[in-house]
Amino acid sequence: MTEPKVPPAGLAARLLPGWFSNGDRVAINVTGAGEWSGKQVQVAVFGTDDVEVMWIAGATLEIDSDGNGEIELAGGLSLNRETALWIHSLIVDGDTFVQPVVAMSILNPTEEMTSEADIQPVYRRIAAAQEERYSQPLGEPDADGAVEHRVVLVIEGVLLTQSQRVPSGEMRPWSARPSAGEQAQTLDDIRQSLGWAMPIPEDWWTQQVQAKSPYAYLLCPRVYGQTHEAAAGLVHDLGRELIAVLALTRQASARPIATIVERVEPDGRVEGRLLYHGGGYSGNLLGGFISGESQSEILQLTQGIRSDPLLRLCADLYREALAEPSADARFLRLWSILELLSGARVGEGQPVLLSTGSEWPGQHGTTSYAAPRVYQLLSEHFRARNIDAGAAVQPAVDLYQAVRAWYGRRNATGHYGRFLATDPVQSAQSWHRWAVLTSSSQAEWLSALRRAVEMILRAELLNAGVTLDLES
């Protein structure tokens, strides 16, 4: 990736007017771009509120012979909060240009604005509120014996491409990967001890290990505890919450591997502790807000985990399911999340109707029973989000078949430890004919179940976290 360039001297790009509300007319205006006359310019609008800095909009305009260009954003802009906006970058002929000084505009100002001079104070207020949100210390500074520490929790198994801030800390990506040379040497030693001929290619082995071992770390610069271990414990609790959230947003099961704790003594000496918690990666390979790295969503999901112990348990179960190597165990763990949530959210004794309008077949067709209750929970969530349930649960032909098949796999694992399609004892069970459907394309059936669990758990957490005080 090439470094951004400085635009031509005299160029100015900004949003007009300087302040406006949702739905008002707003335009991107570029002046002083004579060098770009006749060229198409791609413009990116960024913004910041008291939660995060984010991409807002993009547009393409043409520079006229006088070096000017303007394009109105259709429908204006619409955000939920007071937000400072600016032109972040301009792309011309494949080159990216970033203005060294930007002109701000304010969307949805919460106080009266009468002149351009009011813009910078509003921006500074927004930025200060954002900083205050995240810079609060972890622990109780006024507690008896509390001493300030700085703590880093190192995490393996989740790939981040940008930092994610939370109150009291920040999750940061780490691009380097651990050395695999000693592992390769161990493999080669084993091979030689057996007298086998094929040497272990260290370069290939290192590439495999590093690709499957992404690192990140949680930095908490101000942690108050009586001891190093107490401070580390506070950060570990915060890290556990974030790991559960990242299981949802990044579809990866991470784990803490080490904690570094330091305390600066009054005489300047540094006393530290290193705690070992001690490993590939199957999560999201994309980066950015479209792939689970949304700052505001991280905050809301974290608040949801904190506000409801049941949802925290379900998030932990989801993380464990992602790390589970056994397909049978993954079916069981993922199903248990749906069963827990349906038991808490769906009342008992209600007759269950299928998407066709017919009743759930058989004698156990009410929400007093696990499978119809889970069906009811999922169907309500699909309808609320206008999602085609049939398409979402493929390779099942419909949600009914999916639920019966998933429940069959759950029963096989729960009662017999694993599903054996030809086992005569399992074959005699009523659920066997449903479970056997998953035999030919097990990975697809399991993926459909994981997506259904992710959808409903994410929705539940976001709903529980909607009370997050984003105004403070």
pLDDT mean over 101-108: 94
pLDDT mean over 85-109: 95
Domains and CATH numbers, the chain: 12-133 (2.60.40.10), 136-178+213-289 (no CATH), 325-467 (no CATH)
User: Over the chain, what is the mean pLDDT?
Assistant: 90
- Position 471 pLDDT exceeds 50: no
Q: For residue range 315-329, list pLDDT tens digits in order.
A: 999 999 988 878 999
pLDDT mean over 239-267: 87
Q: Residue 283: CB partners within 8 Å, gap ≥ 6?
A: 157, 158, 159, 250, 251, 252, 253, 322
Could you tell me the two tokens for 203? 């370069």
**For residue 230, what pLDDT band results from cuts at 50, 70 and 90?**
very high
Q: Which amino acid is at 434?
A: W
Q: Which amino acid is at 286?
A: L
When mean pLDDT is compared across 6-20, 85-99, 228-242, 265-279, the lowest value belongs to 265-279
Q: For residue range 31-41, list pLDDT tens digits in order.
A: 999 999 999 99
- Position 8 pLDDT exceeds 50: yes
**For residue 180, what pLDDT band results from cuts at 50, 70 and 90?**
low
pLDDT for residue 214: 85
When mean pLDDT is compared across 247-256, 291-300, 315-324, the lowest value belongs to 291-300
pLDDT for residue 269: 87
pLDDT for residue 278: 60
pLDDT for residue 226: 94
Distances (CA, A) of 197 to 180, 189, 190, 340, 472: 21, 12, 11, 53, 66
DSSP per-residue codes, 2-59: PPPBPPPTT-EEEEESSEE-TTS--EEEEES-GGGTT-EEEEEEEEE-SS-EEEEEEE
pLDDT for residue 470: 46
